[in-house]
Amino acid sequence: MDRRAALRADRRAAALARRDSRRSREARPDVAARIAATSHAQTALMAPTELLAEQHARSLAALFANGGPTHALLTSSVTGDRRREILAGLADGSIDVAIGTHALVEERVAFKGLGLAIVDEQHRFGVRQRATFREKGTGTDPHLLLTTATPIPQTLNQTIYRDLDISKIDELPVGRKDITTHLRTPEQIGKVWDGIRLAVERGQQAFIVTPRIDPAEDGGDDVPSAIETEQELRKGELRGLRLALMHGRMPARERDSVMRRFAEREVDVLVATTVVEVGIDIPNATVMVVLGAERFGLAQLHQLRGRIGRGSERAYCVLVSEASDSERLAAMTATKEKNGREVPLDGFDLAQRDLAIRGAGEFLGVRQSGVPELRIVDLADVDPTLITETAEEADRIMGVDPALARAEHAELSRSVDQLWRRYALA
């Protein structure tokens, strides 16, 4: 079904807009929100961070500059009279579009007629958060639009089972180049720092990401930490450059302040943990160094890589690790042929690899990975053509006999009933 038609239809639609990590972020959710508003339905757009929610709010403000749906930003920073005003506007329907963070799924938030729920960077939210967000409608079952650069394995499993329709955005904006990814050992780190210094001398910026905030208390391991790395680089290899530190224990407003300084080019090198995995666009950032890369998941690595290369300059991602045999790191440096040239694997390719490595997650459950509750086949090994043919046959059956009441579907009906009872859904 066409996306416009789906959003205006009575039947609830659930869709996954799968873009690669450097593809256009704003266009799809914001346009979808406008379509929903023209159908006299409210929209809620949830982002994982305040900075990202603010970016969406600015995009919507530009889209609606010449009049149109009313909109408001709701985050934990919005308090007092303004918060009460927004909650009242959502409840009485005078606010058409709400943009925010997890604050949108708090118990006190209610919508008069929620028609569309959008979850940006959906892999950052748990299953229950997404479900609660969708249930915010009053007497309605809203359309659900998930956007992500790397679907988690469970999401990929759901697409196989036809619970989600996929819209794939796989073209880079004009002028952007593919990111070059290198795998380096700790012994080669000196050349990595030289590369960062060279990039800064050219007027560019860099990220350095570590797997932990503090060094081990007993000094018993050599896992890189953000605090120690920033201190050592400030006094050593990157002395003279403008460094800043950012991690999850810092207050949200302090993190936002650091990111804004980085965006305004007041900082050359940002040393951080995975709090930078999702954030605002920094077109001038061309280098991403991930220390202890073997300690990150594939989705995290892909998202981190996607923080760079958003401008016209060539960008480089350097994964520093001693684990040269890691399947995840091999996937990050792998390429495929596209239009006669070798290009990096995109988010959907990496999700398929992740499915094979981690498992599809408990079918219809809340686990995000692990061995699925299936006894016949490993979905990661199934020929995609067979999946498509099976799904088409399922669609055909549901089109002519949605209740599975015909005699020829009796066995299928019993099997479905047993499966649903097993998961306490019937």
Rounded distance between C-alpha atoms, residue 387 and residue 406, angstroms: 24
Smallest CA-to-CA distance from 41 within 110, 115, 136, 98 is with 115
Same fold: 3-149 with 180-345: yes
Asked whether the beta carbons of 373 and 362 are under 8 A apart, the reply is: yes
- Round to whole Å and give the CA distance between 194 and 71: 47
Give the per-residue pLDDT at 18.
66
Tell me the domain boundaries of the chain. Answer: 3-149, 180-345
In what side-by-side order are the strands of the sheet with 14-19?
A: 71-74, 97-100, 42-46, 114-120, 143-148, 14-19, 165-169
Alpha carbons 179 and 185: distance in angstroms, whole number: 19
Map tokens 């053509």 to a residue.
385
In this structure, what token pair is assigned to residue 39? 């159908």
Tokens of 279: 């954030």
CA distance 39 to 222: 56
User: If DSSP states are collapsed to H, E and C, what string results for 12-78?
Assistant: CCEEEEEECCCCCCCHHHHHHHHHHHHCCCEEEEECCCHHHHHHHHHHHHHHCCCCCCCEEEECCCC
Q: What is the pTM of this model?
A: 0.76
CATH topology of domain 180-345: Rossmann fold (3.40.50)
Question: What is the chain's pLDDT, residue by residue, as a tens digit (426 residues)?
Answer: 455 555 444 556 777 776 666 555 444 566 677 667 667 789 999 988 888 888 889 888 888 877 778 999 999 889 999 999 999 999 999 999 999 998 998 889 999 989 888 888 776 666 666 677 666 766 667 888 888 776 667 677 777 666 777 777 777 777 788 899 999 999 999 999 999 999 999 999 999 999 999 987 655 567 899 999 999 999 999 999 999 999 989 988 899 899 999 999 999 999 999 989 877 789 999 999 999 999 998 888 998 999 999 998 999 999 999 987 889 999 999 999 988 889 899 888 888 888 888 777 655 566 666 666 666 566 667 777 887 888 889 989 999 999 999 999 999 999 988 887 776 554
The domain defined by 3-149 folds into: Rossmann fold (3.40.50)
- In this prediction, residue 167 carries a pLDDT of 76
